[in-house]
Chains A and B, each alone.
Chain A
Amino acid sequence: MKFLSYLISGIRLGSIYAIIALGYTMVYGIAKMLNFAHGDVIMIGAYVAFFALYRAGFPLVAALLASVAVCTILGITIEKLAYKPLRSATSLAVLITAIGVSYFLQNAALLLWGSTSKIFPTILDYGFIELFGGELKISYQILITIATCIVIMVCLTLFVNKTRMGKAMRACSEDKDAARLMGINVNSVISLTFAIGSGLAAVASVLLCATYPTVTPTLGSMPGIKAFTAAVLGGIGSIPGAFLGGLLLGIIEVIAKVYISSELTDAIVFSVLVLVLLFKPTGLLGRKTSEKV
C-alpha cells in the first residue's frame, strides 16, 4: 500500500514534468530548437501567480488565468524578439540566444523581486480521500494535478490531430518550406506554438508551487532540465512521448528517492535516460530519421 502511495506521488510529479515537457517538445517539433528559457518562463509564471494571489488577493482561478496570460504574451514576445531573427541561423546560435534569454529572465527577476524566496500561499488544499479503509490517502491536490495533466494531453492531442491549425502545425514540423508553399503562415504557427507552450508553463508553475511552495529566481532551472530530459526520454518532438517521458521520470524519481537513496536520485534519473537512449537512440516514441544517400 505504501508503494501505491509513492507511485501516485510519482505520477503527480510526473504530471507536472509532462506539462512542462510538452512546451519543450512542441517548440522543438516546430522550430527545431531547444528553448532553454522555457524553465524561466515557469519561474515568471510562478511569480505572477504569487503576486496575484498574495498581493492582489485574486481567487485561484483568476490568478491562474493572469499567470497564463502573462506567460503566453512573454512566450510570444521572446519568440518575436530573440528567436525569429535567427530562423536561418545555425542551431548553436539559437541555443546560445536561448541561454541569453534564460539569463535575462533570471536576472530580471532577481532585480525586480530580490533573491529571498517568497513563500507561496497554500492552494488546492481540499483534504484527502481515503481508500482501502483509510490505508491509502490521496490528497485532492494530487488528483487535481493528475487530472489537469490528462485534460491538457487530451485537448492538445485533439487540437493537433483534428483542427485546421493543428494540421498546419504538423505540416510545419514536417517541412517548413513545403508548408509555406501550401499557403500556411509559418510565422503564426510558430507564434502559436510558443504561446501554447508558455501558457502550459504557467499552468505547470501553479501546480509546481502547490507542491513546493517557495518561489525564487532560479525556481525554473531544475524542473526545466528534468522536463527537458523527460521530453528527450519520450522522444523529442512527440506529444505522447512528452507525456510518457514525464510520467516515467516522475515515477522513477520518487521511487528511487524512497527505495534506493535520496542522495543519488539525480544520478539514477539521468542514468535511466542514458540507458534508454542507448537502446532507443531517438527516445521511446521518437521517430527514426535516416539520411538519404
Chain B
Amino acid sequence: MSEYVLETKNLGIDFGGLTAVNNFNIRVEKGDIYGLIGPNGAGKTTVFNMLTKVYEPSRGTILVNGTDIGKMSTIEVNRIGIARTFQNIRLFSDLSVEDNVKIGLHNSGSYSLADSLFRTGKFHSEEKRLHERALELLGIFRLEGFAEHKAGSLPYGAQRRLEIARALATKPCLLLLDEPAAGMNPVETQELMDTIKQIRDRFDISILLIEHDMKLVMGVCEKITVLNFGQVLMNGTPEEVQNDPEVIKAYLGD
C-alpha cells in the first residue's frame, strides 16, 4: 500500500500540437485538504479531467493508493475511489434533489434488475436504506428540506453543495472539487469552508480542490500546488505560496 492517496508522475496532455499540461507531479496524502491554484487557463480543470479520465493523458502515470489507473475509464476511476464536482455545475437538473444523491448511491444499492422489475422484498428494503442514506447526506449540506425539489430550481450555492453531496455518495477516498465556492456569497463561502473540513473528518477522505477564492484556499488547505501555463510553479504550505515572488508574478504579471 502506497502512502499516497494520489500520486502523479510527469502527467501531461496535448491538444493537437498544443501542450496544455506538462510534467505535472502531485502527492496527496491521506486526510489532506490540498489546493490546486493558478491563473485562468493554467490547466487546473484539465488536470481534474485527466485524473477522472474524461481526457486521456498523453503521457505520465496516475497512481491512486498505489494502483495505476492508466487503463481505466471514468467509471472505473470512480469505483476505485475518485469522485468529483464540475466547474460548470453538472447536476441532473430535471430530477429531484434526492434522486440526484440517490444516483450517486447507485453502486451501493445492491439489488438487481429483476428485483426492480418484480418489486421483491430486497428492492423495498434496499430502496428504504438508500432513501435514508440520501437524506443523511443531504442533511450534512443543509439540503434535506429541498429533497423533493427539482435540482435545477435550487439557488446556485445550493446546487454546488448538492453536487458535493452527490460526489460523496459514491464513497470516495479522494474528492476533487472544481471551484466549489464560485458564485457563493461570503457567508456561504464561510459555511462551505466549515463543511469541507467537516466532511474530511467525518468520511476520513482526502480532498483536492481548485479555487480562485484565496480566503477559502488559505483557510482550509494544508498544502498547495501552483500551476502556471500547464507547469507546476511550486508546491508548498499556504504561507510559502503567499510569500513566493514567482507566484505573485504569475498572478499579477510583471
Contact = CB atoms under 8 A, between A and B. Distances in A.
Q: Do chains A and B touch in the complex (CB under 8 A)?
A: yes
A292 B87 CA distance: 11
A293 B45 CA distance: 8
B54 interface: yes
A293 B55 CA distance: 9
A292 B86 CA distance: 11
Nearest to B48: A293
Interface string B52-95: 00110000000000000000000000000000001010000000
Contacts of A292: 88
Interface in A246-293: 292-293
Contacts of B88: 292
Contacts of A293: 45, 49, 54-55, 86
A166 to B, nearest CB: 27
Nearest to A292: B88
B177 to A, nearest CB: 15
Interface residues of B, number: 6
- What does DSSP make chain A's interface, helix, strand, loop or mixed? loop
Contacts of B45: 293
Nearest to B46: A293
A285 B86 CA distance: 32
A174 B49 CA distance: 26
Contacts of B55: 293
Nearest to B90: A293
Contacts of B49: 293
Nearest to B54: A293
B250 to A, nearest CB: 24
A292 B88 CA distance: 10
Contacts of B54: 293
A46 B208 CA distance: 66
A293 B87 CA distance: 8
B18 to A, nearest CB: 15
A293 B20 CA distance: 15
A80 B54 CA distance: 42
A225 to B, nearest CB: 33
Nearest to B86: A293
A292 B49 CA distance: 10
B86 to A, nearest CB: 7
Nearest to B45: A293
A293 B88 CA distance: 8
Nearest to B55: A293
A131 to B, nearest CB: 47
A185 B55 CA distance: 38
A291 to B, nearest CB: 9
A163 B186 CA distance: 53
A293 B86 CA distance: 8
B52 to A, nearest CB: 9
A92 to B, nearest CB: 15
Contacts of B86: 293
A290 to B, nearest CB: 10
A60 to B, nearest CB: 51
A210 B220 CA distance: 77
B163 to A, nearest CB: 14
A169 to B, nearest CB: 26
B252 to A, nearest CB: 28
Interface string A3-20: 000000000000000000
A293 to B, nearest CB: 5
Nearest to B49: A293
A292 B54 CA distance: 10
A292 B15 CA distance: 13
Nearest to B178: A293
B127 to A, nearest CB: 32
A293 B49 CA distance: 8
A35 B45 CA distance: 39
A290 B88 CA distance: 16
Nearest to A291: B54
Interface string B142-162: 000000000000000000000
A292 to B, nearest CB: 8
B15 to A, nearest CB: 10
A283 to B, nearest CB: 21
A72 to B, nearest CB: 41
B57 to A, nearest CB: 14
6 contacts: A292-B88, A293-B45, A293-B49, A293-B54, A293-B55, A293-B86
Interface of B: 45, 49, 54-55, 86, 88
Which 6 residue pairs across A and B have the least CB separation, nearest first?
Answer: A293-B54, A293-B49, A293-B86, A293-B45, A293-B55, A292-B88
